[in-house]
Amino acid sequence: MSDPRPSSGADSRLATVLVVEDEAHLAAGLRLNLELDGYRVVNARTVREAGAQLVQAAPIDLILLDVNLPDGDGYTFCKQLRDAGHYTPVIMLTARSAAEERVRGLDSGADDYMPKPFELAELLARVRSALRRSGWRSGGPPDTALGELRFGQAYINFDTQDATASGKPVRLTQLELDLVRYFAQNPGRVLSREELLERVWKLRNAPNTRSVDNFIVRLRKYFEPLPDKPVHFLSHRGAGYRFMPDGDRRA
């Protein structure tokens, strides 16, 4: 049995599973059991919520996808993901056990399916197997050789996830840490929103690249002495963002 947590200290992130399921009991049961198995779990009840979670809770490593959802069906959602270049493994949860429905699930780009009702142990085994096949560990966040980062009045330890700004503790989400790390690995280079979504969020051809902007606003609030006059996380109109560890000399 493989542990979803990596054994090396190089990547301490838990694999994240997005559970798209509108039956509350089933969703809660899946969450509990996945968490007991060591995964981080985020829930969505509709196709719309699932789309939002893919961005907000990113990076998502695996999706458990119900077929019948209040605002759409899992097949269409899965196909849209694949058409958009999004290759997160998908396991369809389907009450439809007819062969043609299984084929439809796989044709829509799902990696696997589980007919309901299912044995929990079997589902968890399929989750592990799908993550293994996707090379989850290697597909995780960027190289973590960067253990610590100091810039301006900021200090970040990527291993312990401790961060301070002007000596005061700052609590960063995993995605915020991944974003700062990617900036720190590319100092002084203008990074487009598309590149950031692809490399940090693991989303290719994301429909809404503006979600990056909200994260930049947060990083500035945490780490810029004057968030309205940033010197570290700089905007480049029409191009993207640039990280300047020593501050913007123009400022």
Q: Is the CB of residue 131 less than 8 Å from the CB of residue 15? A: yes
Piece of the chain touching Ca ion by CB under 5 A; list 9-17, 67-75, 185-193, 228-236? 67-75
Among 12, 33, 68, 185, binds Ca ion (CB under 5 A): 68
The tokens of 31 are what?
Answer: 């969450």
Query: In terms of C-beta density within 10 A (0-12 exposed, 13-18 middle, 19 or more buried), how is residue 79 classed?
Result: middle
Tokens (6 digits) for 123: 């589902």
CB closer to Ca ion out of 32 and 95 = 95
Q: Which is nearer to Ca ion, 66 or 176 (CB)?
A: 66
111 sits near Ca ion (criterion: CB under 5 A): no
Query: How far apart are the C-alpha atoms of 98 and 94, rounded to whole Å?
Result: 10
Residue 63 CB, shortest distance to Ca ion, in Å, is 15
Residue 163 vs residues 52, 87, 223: alpha-carbon distances, Å: 27, 32, 10
Chosen residue from 22, 101, 162, 198 binding Ca ion by CB under 5 A: 22
Query: Among 66, 111, 176, 224, which residue sits at the site for Ca ion (rule: CB under 5 A)?
Result: 66
Q: Which stretch binds Ca ion (CB under 5 A): 32-40, 64-72, 132-140, 243-251?
A: 64-72
CB of 61 to Ca ion, least distance (A): 22
Q: How far is the CB of 184 from Ca ion (least distance, A)?
A: 42
Q: In the structure encoding, which two tokens stand for residue 2, read together? A: 């493989």
Nearest to 107 by CA among 70, 76, 133: 76
Which residues of this chain interact with Ca ion, rule CB under 5 A? 22, 66, 68
